[in-house]
DNA sequence: ATGTTC
Protein backbone atom coordinates (compact mmCIF):
# COMPACT_ATOMS: atom_id res chain seq x y z
CA UNK A 1 0.00 0.00 0.00
CA UNK A 2 1.23 3.46 -0.92
CA UNK A 3 1.65 5.51 2.26
CA UNK A 4 1.12 8.68 0.20
CA UNK A 5 -2.59 7.87 0.20
CA UNK A 6 -2.66 8.20 4.00
CA UNK A 7 -2.27 10.99 6.53
CA UNK A 8 0.44 10.12 9.01
CA UNK A 9 -0.74 10.76 12.58
CA UNK A 10 2.28 9.22 14.30
CA UNK A 11 4.91 6.58 13.66
CA UNK A 12 2.31 3.82 14.13
CA UNK A 13 -0.98 5.50 13.19
CA UNK A 14 -2.21 6.45 9.73
CA UNK A 15 -5.51 7.90 8.60
CA UNK A 16 -7.66 7.53 5.52
CA UNK A 17 -9.42 10.89 5.38
CA UNK A 18 -13.18 10.55 4.88
CA UNK A 19 -14.00 10.89 1.21
CA UNK A 20 -16.78 9.81 -1.10
CA UNK A 21 -19.38 7.82 0.82
CA UNK A 22 -17.27 7.25 3.94
CA UNK A 23 -19.14 8.01 7.19
CA UNK A 24 -16.00 7.97 9.33
CA UNK A 25 -12.25 7.99 8.67
CA UNK A 26 -10.15 4.88 8.34
CA UNK A 27 -7.31 4.29 10.78
CA UNK A 28 -4.46 1.86 10.23
CA UNK A 29 -2.10 1.10 13.10
CA UNK A 30 1.25 0.00 11.69
CA UNK A 31 4.76 1.16 10.87
CA UNK A 32 5.53 2.53 7.42
CA UNK A 33 7.31 -0.76 6.62
CA UNK A 34 4.27 -2.87 7.56
CA UNK A 35 1.92 -0.62 5.59
CA UNK A 36 4.14 -0.71 2.52
CA UNK A 37 3.96 -4.51 2.66
CA UNK A 38 0.14 -4.47 2.95
CA UNK A 39 -2.02 -5.19 -0.07
CA UNK A 40 -3.83 -2.19 -1.62
CA UNK A 41 -6.99 -4.17 -0.95
CA UNK A 42 -6.61 -3.42 2.77
CA UNK A 43 -7.01 0.28 1.93
CA UNK A 44 -10.12 -0.46 -0.15
CA UNK A 45 -11.62 -2.69 2.52
CA UNK A 46 -11.03 -0.25 5.41
CA UNK A 47 -12.62 2.46 3.25
CA UNK A 48 -15.57 0.28 2.26
CA UNK A 49 -16.34 -0.64 5.87
CA UNK A 50 -16.31 3.11 6.71
CA UNK A 51 -19.24 3.48 4.31
CA UNK A 52 -21.53 1.09 6.19
CA UNK A 53 -24.50 2.63 8.03
CA UNK A 54 -24.20 3.40 11.73
CA UNK A 55 -20.43 2.89 11.96
CA UNK A 56 -18.94 5.04 14.72
CA UNK A 57 -15.56 6.68 15.30
CA UNK A 58 -13.50 4.98 12.58
CA UNK A 59 -12.92 1.85 10.53
CA UNK A 60 -9.74 0.30 11.90
CA UNK A 61 -6.99 -2.02 10.69
CA UNK A 62 -4.43 -3.63 12.99
CA UNK A 63 -0.71 -4.01 12.14
CA UNK A 64 -1.22 -7.57 10.86
CA UNK A 65 -4.04 -6.60 8.47
CA UNK A 66 -4.39 -8.37 5.15
CA UNK A 67 -7.07 -8.88 2.53
CA UNK A 68 -10.15 -10.85 3.60
CA UNK A 69 -13.75 -11.49 2.59
CA UNK A 70 -15.44 -8.07 2.65
CA UNK A 71 -13.72 -6.80 5.79
CA UNK A 72 -9.94 -7.13 5.97
CA UNK A 73 -8.53 -9.66 8.42
CA UNK A 74 -7.18 -7.48 11.22
CA UNK A 75 -10.23 -5.20 10.99
CA UNK A 76 -12.22 -3.60 13.81
CA UNK A 77 -15.50 -1.72 13.37
CA UNK A 78 -18.20 -0.73 15.87
CA UNK A 79 -21.82 0.05 15.02
CA UNK A 80 -24.46 1.98 16.93
CA UNK A 81 -27.91 0.33 16.90
CA UNK A 82 -29.49 3.76 17.53
CA UNK A 83 -27.99 5.11 14.31
CA UNK A 84 -29.09 2.39 11.93
CA UNK A 85 -25.99 0.32 12.69
CA UNK A 86 -25.50 -3.09 11.11
CA UNK A 87 -24.00 -6.48 11.75
CA UNK A 88 -22.11 -8.21 8.96
CA UNK A 89 -21.30 -11.92 8.66
CA UNK A 90 -18.22 -11.01 6.63
CA UNK A 91 -17.18 -8.67 9.44
CA UNK A 92 -16.93 -11.61 11.82
CA UNK A 93 -15.41 -14.07 9.40
CA UNK A 94 -16.29 -17.58 8.36
CA UNK A 95 -14.50 -19.18 11.28
CA UNK A 96 -16.66 -17.73 14.05
CA UNK A 97 -14.71 -17.32 17.32
CA UNK A 98 -11.51 -18.65 15.91
CA UNK A 99 -9.15 -17.95 18.76
CA UNK A 100 -6.16 -18.85 20.85
CA UNK A 101 -6.02 -20.64 24.18
CA UNK A 102 -2.70 -20.82 26.02
CA UNK A 103 -2.11 -23.40 28.75
CA UNK A 104 0.40 -23.33 31.58
CA UNK A 105 2.33 -26.49 32.34
CA UNK A 106 4.47 -27.15 35.41
CA UNK A 107 7.26 -28.19 33.01
CA UNK A 108 10.43 -26.49 31.82
CA UNK A 109 12.29 -26.81 28.54
CA UNK A 110 14.69 -29.23 30.26
CA UNK A 111 11.85 -31.49 31.41
CA UNK A 112 10.70 -32.12 27.86
CA UNK A 113 14.06 -32.15 26.06
CA UNK A 114 14.47 -35.94 26.23
CA UNK A 115 10.84 -36.80 25.40
CA UNK A 116 10.15 -34.29 22.68
CA UNK A 117 9.48 -36.88 19.96
CA UNK A 118 7.26 -39.01 22.20
CA UNK A 119 5.33 -35.93 23.20
CA UNK A 120 4.91 -34.85 19.58
CA UNK A 121 3.64 -38.31 18.63
CA UNK A 122 1.26 -38.48 21.60
CA UNK A 123 -0.27 -35.10 20.77
CA UNK A 124 -0.47 -35.87 17.05
CA UNK A 125 -2.19 -39.21 17.71
CA UNK A 126 -4.56 -37.92 20.36
CA UNK A 127 -5.81 -34.62 18.92
CA UNK A 128 -7.65 -35.01 15.60
CA UNK A 129 -6.48 -32.52 12.98
CA UNK A 130 -6.92 -31.85 9.30
CA UNK A 131 -9.70 -31.07 6.84
CA UNK A 132 -12.94 -32.84 7.78
CA UNK A 133 -11.36 -34.45 10.83
CA UNK A 134 -13.75 -36.05 13.28
CA UNK A 135 -13.31 -36.58 17.00
CA UNK A 136 -14.39 -38.77 19.86
CA UNK A 137 -17.32 -36.58 20.88
CA UNK A 138 -20.42 -37.78 19.05
CA UNK A 139 -23.46 -35.54 19.26
CA UNK A 140 -27.05 -35.94 18.17
CA UNK A 141 -29.16 -33.20 16.60
CA UNK A 142 -30.70 -32.83 20.05
CA UNK A 143 -27.55 -32.80 22.20
CA UNK A 144 -25.66 -30.38 19.96
CA UNK A 145 -28.07 -27.66 21.10
CA UNK A 146 -26.60 -28.00 24.60
CA UNK A 147 -23.12 -27.34 23.19
CA UNK A 148 -24.39 -24.28 21.35
CA UNK A 149 -25.99 -22.80 24.48
CA UNK A 150 -23.42 -24.02 27.00
CA UNK A 151 -20.03 -23.47 25.34
CA UNK A 152 -17.00 -24.51 27.36
CA UNK A 153 -19.32 -24.84 30.36
CA UNK A 154 -21.06 -27.70 28.54
CA UNK A 155 -17.68 -29.34 27.96
CA UNK A 156 -16.68 -29.12 31.64
CA UNK A 157 -20.08 -30.45 32.74
CA UNK A 158 -19.49 -33.44 30.44
CA UNK A 159 -16.10 -34.28 31.92
CA UNK A 160 -13.82 -32.31 29.62
CA UNK A 161 -11.70 -30.26 31.97
CA UNK A 162 -12.05 -28.49 35.30
CA UNK A 163 -14.57 -25.98 36.60
CA UNK A 164 -11.70 -23.60 37.37
CA UNK A 165 -10.75 -23.57 33.66
CA UNK A 166 -13.86 -21.52 32.91
CA UNK A 167 -12.72 -18.40 34.77
CA UNK A 168 -9.85 -17.97 32.33
CA UNK A 169 -12.02 -17.95 29.22
CA UNK A 170 -13.55 -14.84 27.70
CA UNK A 171 -17.22 -14.70 28.85
CA UNK A 172 -16.33 -17.44 31.36
CA UNK A 173 -16.65 -19.89 28.50
CA UNK A 174 -20.34 -19.28 27.75
CA UNK A 175 -22.05 -16.61 25.64
CA UNK A 176 -25.43 -16.16 27.32
CA UNK A 177 -27.37 -14.80 24.34
CA UNK A 178 -26.73 -17.73 22.01
CA UNK A 179 -29.82 -18.85 20.08
CA UNK A 180 -29.37 -22.35 18.76
CA UNK A 181 -32.75 -22.17 17.02
CA UNK A 182 -31.24 -19.68 14.57
CA UNK A 183 -28.56 -22.15 13.48
CA UNK A 184 -29.55 -24.25 10.46
CA UNK A 185 -29.82 -28.03 10.75
CA UNK A 186 -27.23 -28.21 8.00
CA UNK A 187 -24.73 -26.26 10.14
CA UNK A 188 -25.47 -28.50 13.15
CA UNK A 189 -25.09 -31.69 11.10
CA UNK A 190 -21.64 -30.62 9.96
CA UNK A 191 -20.54 -30.34 13.58
CA UNK A 192 -21.92 -33.59 15.05
CA UNK A 193 -18.50 -35.27 15.05
CA UNK A 194 -16.23 -32.21 14.92
CA UNK A 195 -16.21 -31.03 18.53
CA UNK A 196 -12.69 -31.61 19.86
CA UNK A 197 -10.94 -31.34 16.50
CA UNK A 198 -8.33 -28.85 15.37
CA UNK A 199 -9.25 -28.32 11.73
CA UNK A 200 -6.85 -27.17 9.04
CA UNK A 201 -5.33 -24.04 7.53
CA UNK A 202 -3.54 -21.89 10.08
CA UNK A 203 -4.91 -23.86 13.01
CA UNK A 204 -2.41 -25.58 15.23
CA UNK A 205 -1.52 -27.05 18.58
CA UNK A 206 1.90 -25.93 19.75
CA UNK A 207 4.22 -26.78 22.60
CA UNK A 208 6.19 -23.63 23.24
CA UNK A 209 9.01 -22.42 25.45
CA UNK A 210 9.09 -18.91 26.90
CA UNK A 211 12.27 -17.39 25.48
CA UNK A 212 11.93 -13.73 26.38
CA UNK A 213 10.23 -11.65 29.06
CA UNK A 214 9.45 -8.02 28.23
CA UNK A 215 7.48 -7.08 31.33
CA UNK A 216 8.66 -9.06 34.39
CA UNK A 217 5.95 -7.84 36.76
CA UNK A 218 3.02 -8.72 34.50
CA UNK A 219 4.70 -11.93 33.33
CA UNK A 220 5.04 -13.10 36.92
CA UNK A 221 1.42 -12.26 37.67
CA UNK A 222 0.30 -14.14 34.53
CA UNK A 223 2.47 -17.10 35.65
CA UNK A 224 5.05 -16.78 32.87
CA UNK A 225 8.77 -17.35 33.46
CA UNK A 226 11.68 -17.78 31.08
CA UNK A 227 12.13 -21.46 30.15
CA UNK A 228 8.51 -22.38 31.00
CA UNK A 229 6.72 -24.81 28.70
CA UNK A 230 3.33 -23.50 27.52
CA UNK A 231 0.87 -25.13 25.14
CA UNK A 232 -1.23 -23.07 22.73
CA UNK A 233 -4.31 -24.12 20.79
CA UNK A 234 -5.40 -22.12 17.75
CA UNK A 235 -8.74 -23.19 16.28
CA UNK A 236 -12.36 -22.17 15.94
CA UNK A 237 -15.89 -23.35 15.27
CA UNK A 238 -15.08 -25.76 12.40
CA UNK A 239 -17.84 -26.70 9.97
CA UNK A 240 -20.61 -25.20 12.10
CA UNK A 241 -19.22 -21.66 12.13
CA UNK A 242 -18.43 -21.82 8.46
CA UNK A 243 -21.96 -22.91 7.62
CA UNK A 244 -23.51 -20.16 9.79
CA UNK A 245 -21.38 -17.65 7.89
CA UNK A 246 -22.41 -19.09 4.54
CA UNK A 247 -26.12 -19.22 5.49
CA UNK A 248 -26.31 -15.65 6.79
CA UNK A 249 -24.15 -14.13 4.09
CA UNK A 250 -26.82 -15.19 1.62
CA UNK A 251 -29.76 -13.93 3.65
CA UNK A 252 -27.95 -10.68 4.52
CA UNK A 253 -27.26 -9.96 0.85
CA UNK A 254 -30.98 -10.24 0.13
CA UNK A 255 -31.96 -8.31 3.25
CA UNK A 256 -29.53 -5.44 2.66
CA UNK A 257 -31.04 -5.05 -0.77
CA UNK A 258 -34.61 -4.94 0.49
CA UNK A 259 -33.71 -2.62 3.39
CA UNK A 260 -32.18 -0.18 0.93
CA UNK A 261 -28.66 -0.42 2.36
CA UNK A 262 -26.20 0.85 -0.23
CA UNK A 263 -23.47 -1.82 -0.13
CA UNK A 264 -20.01 -0.79 -1.37
CA UNK A 265 -19.59 -4.41 -2.46
CA UNK A 266 -21.54 -7.64 -2.21
CA UNK A 267 -19.10 -9.21 0.24
CA UNK A 268 -20.07 -6.58 2.82
CA UNK A 269 -23.59 -8.01 3.07
CA UNK A 270 -25.07 -6.92 6.39
CA UNK A 271 -28.36 -6.36 8.20
CA UNK A 272 -29.54 -3.68 10.57
CA UNK A 273 -28.97 -4.59 14.21
CA UNK A 274 -32.68 -4.09 14.91
CA UNK A 275 -33.86 -6.24 12.00
CA UNK A 276 -34.99 -9.88 12.31
CA UNK A 277 -32.06 -11.15 10.24
CA UNK A 278 -29.57 -9.03 12.18
CA UNK A 279 -30.90 -10.38 15.49
CA UNK A 280 -31.04 -13.95 14.19
CA UNK A 281 -27.42 -13.73 13.06
CA UNK A 282 -26.28 -12.40 16.44
CA UNK A 283 -28.00 -15.35 18.16
CA UNK A 284 -26.54 -17.86 15.70
CA UNK A 285 -23.09 -16.27 15.87
CA UNK A 286 -23.12 -16.45 19.69
CA UNK A 287 -23.96 -20.15 19.33
CA UNK A 288 -20.94 -20.41 17.03
CA UNK A 289 -18.80 -18.72 19.69
CA UNK A 290 -19.97 -21.31 22.21
CA UNK A 291 -19.14 -24.10 19.77
CA UNK A 292 -15.58 -22.75 19.37
CA UNK A 293 -15.09 -22.42 23.14
CA UNK A 294 -16.41 -25.94 23.68
CA UNK A 295 -14.05 -27.13 20.97
CA UNK A 296 -10.98 -25.58 22.60
CA UNK A 297 -12.12 -26.94 25.98
CA UNK A 298 -12.43 -30.53 24.70
CA UNK A 299 -9.03 -30.20 22.98
CA UNK A 300 -7.58 -29.01 26.31
CA UNK A 301 -8.85 -32.21 27.92
CA UNK A 302 -7.24 -34.27 25.14
CA UNK A 303 -3.99 -32.33 25.58
CA UNK A 304 -4.02 -33.14 29.30
CA UNK A 305 -4.50 -36.84 28.55
CA UNK A 306 -1.77 -36.91 25.88
CA UNK A 307 0.80 -35.01 27.95
CA UNK A 308 0.10 -37.10 31.07
CA UNK A 309 0.83 -40.28 29.12
CA UNK A 310 4.37 -39.08 28.45
CA UNK A 311 4.91 -36.96 31.56
CA UNK A 312 2.66 -38.36 34.34
CA UNK A 313 3.41 -35.50 36.73
CA UNK A 314 2.35 -32.81 34.30
CA UNK A 315 -0.15 -30.32 35.58
CA UNK A 316 -1.94 -28.19 33.02
CA UNK A 317 -3.95 -25.04 33.78
CA UNK A 318 -5.36 -22.25 31.63
CA UNK A 319 -3.57 -18.97 31.16
CA UNK A 320 -6.34 -17.53 28.99
CA UNK A 321 -8.63 -18.15 26.04
CA UNK A 322 -9.60 -15.33 23.70
CA UNK A 323 -11.34 -15.28 20.31
CA UNK A 324 -10.36 -13.07 17.40
CA UNK A 325 -13.39 -13.45 15.09
CA UNK A 326 -16.47 -12.05 16.82
CA UNK A 327 -19.11 -9.35 16.98
CA UNK A 328 -19.94 -8.45 20.57
CA UNK A 329 -22.15 -5.95 22.30
CA UNK A 330 -19.96 -3.79 24.54
CA UNK A 331 -20.19 -0.43 26.27
CA UNK A 332 -17.74 2.15 24.97
CA UNK A 333 -17.38 5.88 25.45
CA UNK A 334 -17.48 7.73 22.15
CA UNK A 335 -18.25 11.29 21.10
CA UNK A 336 -21.94 10.83 22.02
CA UNK A 337 -21.05 9.53 25.49
CA UNK A 338 -21.29 6.00 26.84
CA UNK A 339 -22.97 3.79 24.28
CA UNK A 340 -23.82 0.16 23.78
CA UNK A 341 -22.09 -0.76 20.51
CA UNK A 342 -21.64 -3.89 18.42
CA UNK A 343 -17.91 -4.33 17.92
CA UNK A 344 -16.76 -6.49 15.02
CA UNK A 345 -13.30 -7.93 15.47
CA UNK A 346 -12.18 -9.97 12.49
CA UNK A 347 -8.67 -11.26 12.96
CA UNK A 348 -8.37 -8.84 15.86
CA UNK A 349 -8.05 -9.75 19.53
CA UNK A 350 -9.99 -8.14 22.34
CA UNK A 351 -7.42 -6.32 24.47
CA UNK A 352 -9.18 -4.84 27.49
CA UNK A 353 -7.07 -2.89 29.95
CA UNK A 354 -6.80 -3.03 33.74
CA UNK A 355 -9.96 -2.83 35.83
CA UNK A 356 -12.28 -4.44 33.33
CA UNK A 357 -14.99 -6.31 35.25
CA UNK A 358 -14.90 -9.24 32.81
CA UNK A 359 -11.37 -10.23 33.82
CA UNK A 360 -10.56 -13.00 36.33
CA UNK A 361 -9.43 -11.61 39.70
CA UNK A 362 -5.80 -12.63 39.11
CA UNK A 363 -5.60 -10.31 36.09
CA UNK A 364 -8.00 -7.55 37.09
CA UNK A 365 -5.36 -5.00 38.09
CA UNK A 366 -3.14 -5.80 35.11
CA UNK A 367 -5.35 -6.12 32.07
CA UNK A 368 -6.40 -8.92 29.77
CA UNK A 369 -3.86 -11.37 28.34
CA UNK A 370 -3.72 -10.83 24.57
CA UNK A 371 -2.66 -14.05 22.86
CA UNK A 372 -0.91 -13.57 19.53
CA UNK A 373 -0.19 -16.68 17.48
CA UNK A 374 2.83 -16.61 15.23
CA UNK A 375 3.88 -19.11 12.57
CA UNK A 376 5.39 -22.58 12.85
CA UNK A 377 8.95 -21.36 12.64
CA UNK A 378 8.83 -18.08 14.49
CA UNK A 379 7.38 -16.90 17.76
CA UNK A 380 4.09 -16.29 19.53
CA UNK A 381 3.57 -13.40 21.90
CA UNK A 382 1.56 -12.69 25.01
CA UNK A 383 0.63 -9.06 25.48
CA UNK A 384 -1.52 -7.29 28.03
CA UNK A 385 -4.38 -4.92 27.19
CA UNK A 386 -4.06 -1.21 27.91
CA UNK A 387 -6.57 1.37 29.08
CA UNK A 388 -5.72 3.45 26.03
CA UNK A 389 -6.80 0.71 23.60
CA UNK A 390 -10.42 1.51 24.50
CA UNK A 391 -10.01 4.91 22.83
CA UNK A 392 -7.73 3.71 20.05
CA UNK A 393 -9.53 0.60 18.79
CA UNK A 394 -12.51 -0.23 21.05
CA UNK A 395 -10.10 -2.33 23.11
CA UNK A 396 -8.55 -4.41 20.34
CA UNK A 397 -5.12 -5.43 19.09
CA UNK A 398 -3.60 -7.60 16.37
CA UNK A 399 -4.13 -11.39 16.30
CA UNK A 400 -1.09 -12.87 14.62
CA UNK A 401 1.62 -12.36 12.08
CA UNK A 402 -0.75 -11.88 9.14
CA UNK A 403 -0.11 -13.38 5.73
CA UNK A 404 1.94 -11.58 3.11
CA UNK A 405 1.49 -14.29 0.49
CA UNK A 406 -1.50 -16.27 -0.74
CA UNK A 407 -1.74 -19.95 0.07
CA UNK A 408 -1.35 -20.72 -3.62
CA UNK A 409 1.82 -18.65 -3.98
CA UNK A 410 3.24 -20.28 -0.86
CA UNK A 411 2.77 -23.79 -2.31
CA UNK A 412 4.63 -22.69 -5.44
CA UNK A 413 7.49 -21.28 -3.41
CA UNK A 414 7.95 -24.05 -0.80
CA UNK A 415 7.77 -27.83 -0.56
CA UNK A 416 6.05 -29.11 2.58
CA UNK A 417 8.71 -31.72 3.21
CA UNK A 418 11.59 -29.26 3.02
CA UNK A 419 9.76 -26.90 5.40
CA UNK A 420 9.40 -29.79 7.89
CA UNK A 421 13.10 -30.68 7.53
CA UNK A 422 14.27 -27.10 7.76
CA UNK A 423 12.24 -26.51 10.93
CA UNK A 424 13.41 -29.81 12.45
CA UNK A 425 16.95 -28.45 12.04
CA UNK A 426 15.87 -25.34 13.92
CA UNK A 427 14.44 -27.40 16.78
CA UNK A 428 10.74 -27.39 15.82
CA UNK A 429 9.04 -30.77 15.36
CA UNK A 430 6.17 -30.48 12.88
CA UNK A 431 3.50 -33.17 12.79
CA UNK A 432 0.89 -32.81 10.05
CA UNK A 433 -1.33 -34.94 7.85
CA UNK A 434 -0.96 -32.48 5.01
CA UNK A 435 2.40 -31.52 3.52
CA UNK A 436 0.55 -29.15 1.25
CA UNK A 437 -0.89 -27.48 4.35
CA UNK A 438 2.62 -27.14 5.77
CA UNK A 439 3.80 -25.46 2.55
CA UNK A 440 0.83 -23.07 2.67
CA UNK A 441 1.77 -22.21 6.24
CA UNK A 442 5.52 -21.78 5.65
CA UNK A 443 6.82 -19.08 8.00
CA UNK A 444 8.04 -17.11 4.97
CA UNK A 445 4.44 -16.58 3.83
CA UNK A 446 3.83 -14.39 6.88
CA UNK A 447 4.88 -10.98 8.13
CA UNK A 448 7.47 -10.72 10.87
CA UNK A 449 5.37 -11.30 14.01
CA UNK A 450 7.96 -9.54 16.19
CA UNK A 451 7.57 -6.39 14.06
CA UNK A 452 3.77 -6.68 14.19
CA UNK A 453 3.59 -6.84 17.99
CA UNK A 454 6.19 -4.12 18.38
CA UNK A 455 4.05 -1.88 16.22
CA UNK A 456 0.92 -2.81 18.21
CA UNK A 457 2.76 -1.86 21.39
CA UNK A 458 4.08 1.43 19.97
CA UNK A 459 0.60 2.30 18.74
CA UNK A 460 -0.61 1.81 22.34
CA UNK A 461 -2.95 -1.11 21.59
CA UNK A 462 -1.35 -3.59 24.02
CA UNK A 463 1.98 -4.09 25.80
CA UNK A 464 4.34 -6.98 25.26
CA UNK A 465 4.73 -9.36 28.20
CA UNK A 466 6.54 -12.42 26.84
CA UNK A 467 7.65 -14.20 23.70
CA UNK A 468 7.28 -17.95 23.17
CA UNK A 469 9.07 -20.10 20.60
CA UNK A 470 7.64 -23.38 19.24
CA UNK A 471 9.25 -26.76 19.89
CA UNK A 472 6.38 -28.99 18.72
CA UNK A 473 3.67 -28.00 16.25
CA UNK A 474 0.71 -30.21 15.32
CA UNK A 475 -0.85 -28.79 12.14
CA UNK A 476 -4.16 -29.53 10.50
C1' DA B 1 -11.42 -20.66 7.48
C1' DT B 2 -14.21 -24.65 4.74
C1' DG B 3 -17.12 -31.89 3.40
C1' DT B 4 -10.14 -26.69 0.21
C1' DT B 5 -15.57 -24.85 -6.25
C1' DC B 6 -23.40 -25.95 -3.91
Above 90 in pLDDT, residue A257? no
Task: Determine the Cα–Cα distance for residues A298 and A125; give it in Å rounded to an integer.
Answer: 15
Give, in Å, how far the C1' of B1 lies from the CA of A241: 9
Strands A73-79 and A349-350: unpaired
A173: left (phi over 0), alpha (psi -120 to 50) or beta: left
Alpha-carbon distance of A445 to A468, in angstroms, equals: 20
Read out DSSP for A304-370?
Answer: HHHHHHH-TT--EEEEEEEESEEEEEEEEEETTEEEEEEEEEES-EE---TT-TTS-TTTTTT--EE
The pLDDT tens digits of the residues spanning A98-113 come to: 999 999 999 999 999 9
What's the pLDDT band for A95 if we cut at 50, 70, 90? very high
**Average pLDDT rounded to a whole number, residues A66-87:** 97
How many residues does the structure list for chain A?
476
Least confident of A77-81, A321-325, A374-378, A389-393: A374-378
Helices (H), A67-176: 109-113, 116-126, 144-150, 152-157
Would the annotation count A239 as a binding residue?
Answer: no
Per-residue pLDDT band for A80 (boundaries 50, 70, 90) equals: very high
In this complex, the nucleotide whose C1' atom is nearest to the CA atom of residue A400 is B1
Which whole number is the average pLDDT over A353-380? 95
Report the catalytic residues of A: 399
In the structure, how far is the CA atom of residue A216 from the C1' atom of nucleotide B2, in angstroms? 41
The rounded mean pLDDT for chain A is: 97
* Cα dist from A242 to A184, A191, A384, A402, whole Å: 12, 10, 30, 20
Share of chain A above pLDDT 90, in %: 97
Residues facing A384 on adjacent strands: A369, A463
Distance, Å, A311 CA → B4 C1': 36
**Is the separation of the CB atoms in A212 and A176 below 8 Å?**
no
Nucleotide closest to A132 measured between CA and C1' = B3
- Is A104 annotated as ligand-binding? no
pLDDT at A256 over 90: no
Residue lying closest to nucleotide B3, CA to C1' = A132
* pTM of this structure: 0.98
3-state secondary structure of A256: helix
pLDDT given for residue A377 in this prediction: 82
The total of other beta-carbon atoms located within 10 Å of residue A274's CB is 12
Angstrom distance, A404 CA to B3 C1': 28
Mean pLDDT calculated for residue range A38-67: 97
Residue A123 confidence class, pLDDT cut points 50, 70, 90: very high
Cβ of A239 near strand B (under 7 Å)? The reply is yes
CB A74 within 8 A of CB A402: yes
Answer yes or no: are the C-beta atoms of A440 and A398 closer than 8 Å. Answer: no
d(CA A158, CA A171): 19
Q: Calculate mean pLDDT across residues A15-36.
A: 97
Pairing of β A429-432 and β A462-475: parallel
CATH class of A3-85+96-475: alpha beta
Query: Does the CB of A446 fall within 7 Å of any strand B atom?
Result: no
What does the pLDDT look like over A405-450, one tens digit per residue? 999 999 999 999 999 999 999 999 999 999 999 999 999 999 999 9
- List beta partners, residue A322: A100
- Which bases of chain B come closer than 7 Å to a protein CB? 1-4
Half-sphere exposure of A409 (CA within 13 A, CB side): 8
Sort A217 into a burial class: Cβ within 10 Å, 0-12 / 13-18 / 19+.
exposed
CB atoms within 10 A of CB A425: 8
Please say if the pLDDT value at position A259 is more than 90. Answer: no
* Tens-digit pLDDT profile for residues A225-235: 999 999 999 99
pLDDT value of position A42: 97
Hey, is A283 helix, strand or coil? helix
The pLDDT, as a whole number, for residue A161 is 98
For residue A339, what pLDDT band results from cuts at 50, 70 and 90? very high
Which whole number is the average pLDDT over A337-361? 97
**Taking 90 as the threshold, does the pLDDT of residue A325 lie above it?**
yes
Share of residues in chain A with pLDDT > 70 (%): 100
* CA A404/CA A399 separation, integer angstroms: 15
Q: How confident is the model at residue A476 (pLDDT cuts 50, 70, 90)?
A: confident
Amino acid sequence: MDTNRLTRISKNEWRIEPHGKMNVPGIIYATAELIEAMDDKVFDQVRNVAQLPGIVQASYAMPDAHWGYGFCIGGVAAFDPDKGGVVSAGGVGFDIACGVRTLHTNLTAEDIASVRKELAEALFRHIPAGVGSTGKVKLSMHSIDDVLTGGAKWAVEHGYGLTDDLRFIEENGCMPDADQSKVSDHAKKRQLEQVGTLGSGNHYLEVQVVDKIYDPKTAKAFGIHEGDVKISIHCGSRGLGHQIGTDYLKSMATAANSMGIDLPERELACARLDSPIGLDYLGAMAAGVNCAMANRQVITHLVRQAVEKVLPKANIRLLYDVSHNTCKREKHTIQDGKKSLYVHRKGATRAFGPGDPSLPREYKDLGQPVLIGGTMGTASHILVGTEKSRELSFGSACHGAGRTMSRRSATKRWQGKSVVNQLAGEGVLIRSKSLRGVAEEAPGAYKDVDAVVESAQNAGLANRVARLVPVICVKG
